[in-house]
Structure 1
Amino acid sequence: MWRNFLGPGSRVRYTPEDRRALDATQVAELRTTASRYPADRRLRRLIAVLRAHSERFAGLWDSGAMAEPHQVSRKTVDHPQVGSVTLDCDVLSVTGSNLRIIMYTAEPGTQDAERLALLAVVGTQTFPGPP
């Protein structure tokens, strides 16, 4: 939540429609979580910081709008070592808990699958820059 509304952003590219849907879904889910844990001080503090420093968040929060769960099914990530990678994104919810598992996969046999496999090899290695 903080990174989406206040942070430097990410390397994921969104269409304007997907960005609006993501924002609305995140705010709606935070609203649900806040109602489930009304005494959680850290959660209340996060909401206060987001409202104070993000007009986008404040507008969605203050509207009281509830969003239907919407998950962006594809994401394009601009990775610094392998370039652009388009991935399918599935969000799995564990019934009876707050746990969500996000699974990213690439379509088999595509350049995206090759780039994803390369990332498994590259891992967290650092490559020297040009001489």
Structure 2
Amino acid sequence: MRTGRARPSPATPGAAHFAGPPGRVSHTPEQKARFEAAVVGDLRAAAARYPADADLSSLIKDLRGVSTDFVRLWDTGIVGVHESDAKTVHHPDVGAITFDCDVLTAPGSDLRIVAYTAAPGSDAADRLRLLNVIGTRTTTKDSTLG
């Protein structure tokens, strides 16, 4: 839950989840709980690796000021990283696309690569093929693809 305070400038998609406006990604309650715990755990691990990083400390302070959910999870002391889950992205032209989402971490670094994949033959794969066909066409609220 977000509070009424001014929101911080989110530096990561995880921070944006807690502080930014709602995005196009939706989660089931279980996915949301796993995602939020992973974001907070990853930030806590980063804070332990970089205790003198003023920007990171400021981000954490700002998130504590705008999100009661962040505060609740931060106060548990959880430490962890992102791994795998599913994400549903709501695309304005083709609707909801549910991806497998894997977060790959380069050992010994802070690099994270997020891979979104769709199983061959799945509804998500079909929607991705449709996006490939419509490409970069610009649509408006009242226009149709044709």
SS of the equivalent of 1:48 reads helix
Asked if 1:40 corresponds to 2:53, the answer is: yes
1:121: Cα distance to partner?
4.4
Question: Where has structure 1 moved over 4 Å in runs of 4 or more?
Answer: none
Give the unaligned 5+ runs of structure 1. Answer: none
Identity %: 48
TM-score, normalised to structure 1, is 0.87
Which residue is equivalent to 1:84? 96
1:7 to 7, 14, 20: 20
Name the CA distance, whole Å, in 1 between partners of 2:93 and 2:111.
30
Give the unaligned 5+ runs of structure 2. Answer: 1-13
Name the CA distance, whole Å, in 1 between partners of 2:23 and 2:48.
28
Which residue is equivalent to 1:64? 77
Change (3 A) 1:2 1:124: farther
In the alignment, is the contact (CA less than 8 A) between 1:25 and 1:70 conserved in 2? yes
TM-score, normalised to structure 2, is 0.79
SS of the equivalent of 1:44 reads helix
Change (3 A) 1:41 1:108: same
CA RMSD of aligned residues (A): 1.9
Asked if 1:53 corresponds to 2:66, the answer is: yes
**1:50-93 Cα shifts (integer Å, max 9, x gaps):** 111111111111221335x4545222211111111111111111
In the alignment, is the contact (CA less than 8 A) between 1:14 and 1:75 conserved in 2? yes
How many residues in Structure 1 have an aligned counterpart in Structure 2? 130
